[in-house]
Structure 1
Amino acid sequence: MTTLKALIVDDEEYSRKSLYFLIQENCPEVQVAGIVKSVSEARQLISAQVFNLVFLDIAMPKENGFELLPALQERNIRVIFTTAYDQYALKALKANAIDYLLKPIDIEELKTAVSKAEAWANLTSPRTPESLSSRESDESSQPTSSASRTQKKITLPNTYGFNVIDTADIIYVEADSNYSEFHLQDGEKLVISKPLKEIEDSLDPQEFLRIHKSVIVNFRYIKSYVNKNGWQIILSNGVTLPVSRRRATEFQEKAKNYFNK
């Protein structure tokens, strides 16, 4: 069982104490290592101690909970929002939160949220030298072509945990500030708080190409390529996307290689 070292941030004393006792009684995998009443106090504590989870209230005096997120993201600390207001749910999703708990906090919902946090911690925990050695041994007996090293699945966090999707199901990814919106072949859209450059680095460059500063496309879903007041591609789902002039030559070369395999 992975131990989650947690910080509680809430301006209300009753809420802090109530959440602490709920965690103590119901979540043995969580070690509450700090309790503070403001964002400024939380910043000071996370700069001095190591945490991997924060239970974070949103509506607080001076600074709200969202203003703590940059400091948490720098340290790869994940968040479970705890709030009396439900209007922040979408913003919490875009902030890559593990979960969003409404006060008064339900015990079963708390346990579910902690289970998601533990699953995330297991996925992101450093591998031991023994596990690395074992994996390297296994890989040494496998073909080392670029195709075998290519990431064919990608993990995307959502409100309830994680979506593990095949990269083949991604039609295109569109940037929205520091968020990225995945458009999947079944019509589903997933929004995560990662910049497009980070997404681009995780995808196979033989299958995907950034055709514009804000768009990455999957070659397999390209239906046509036309010049209507500038180059555009039309995807199998009917969406038309522009190809920037500076990327047009690279697109044409890669498209030729891809479709002439």
Structure 2
Amino acid sequence: MVRAPRCCLPLRGTNKNINVEISESKWTKEKQETQNLKMKLNALIVEDEANSREILRNYLAKYCPTVNLVGEAATIKEGLALINSKDLDVVFLDVEMPFGNAFDLLDQLPDRNFETVFVTAYNQYAVDALNAHAAYYLMKPISIDELIKAVDYVSEIREKERVIEDRVLTPKFNKVDGKITLPQQDGFQVLNVGDILYCRADDNYTELHLEKQKILVSKTLKYFEEALSGYTFARVHKSYLVNVNEIVRYKKGKGGSVVISNGKEIMVSASKKKDLLSFFE
């Protein structure tokens, strides 16, 4: 499901050498009680400066009791390892780090199922953060109010997503007879795997495209790639998984493109071209 860009960018002037400085002037008991009523968020900090990690950790614990910090990383490599091993709601992410930046990390996670809050001393990355679907962009030094707003905004997004997940379909695969069962309010729908023409990533959801129907499912494209690994499906692009049996034409190019039986043309990533063509050898 495509949402409007999730961002709120309070760009504050700052010196890049300042880490995190939070004023307690506006913090009240009422605000803390309000925080306590909100949903819990599993969080990760990815920040190369130990002092910044410590300060952010301490203030999240003090002012954002809904945040459950499950890990910290000092490098992109460490961050990727933790992200892939944890069930996360939000990642607090510094932009500039040794051996790369935050966007290098996010580029390696096309099927993200968490929100991102950038915490940085550099305001020139605001547009890039917006394009990366960041939930919030915090400038150092951070005020309590901005920190709370960021957490509240993420809580709001995650709560809406959970409500939506209760309404959309979660699939169950039966590999014995090649069928997918999709629960519905009045029963369930049974699909033959072979009836799926292609799957398209839509944020944290996936659209299943059939000949005359499109179904939104509350699973990532990566989930379907793994679940359909025993069938003739190929990941041709970060956003597309296609039924090879429904390909009627391949057009040459750096990666090329495929035309599906319903006339849909889908670009093929150069890195996926070899795997796709292996189906036709």
Q: TM-score, normalised by structure 2?
A: 0.46
Which one has more relative contact order, counting CA pairs under 8 Å at least 6 apart?
A: 2
Question: Which structure carries more helix by proportion?
Answer: 1
Q: TM-score, normalised by structure 1?
A: 0.49
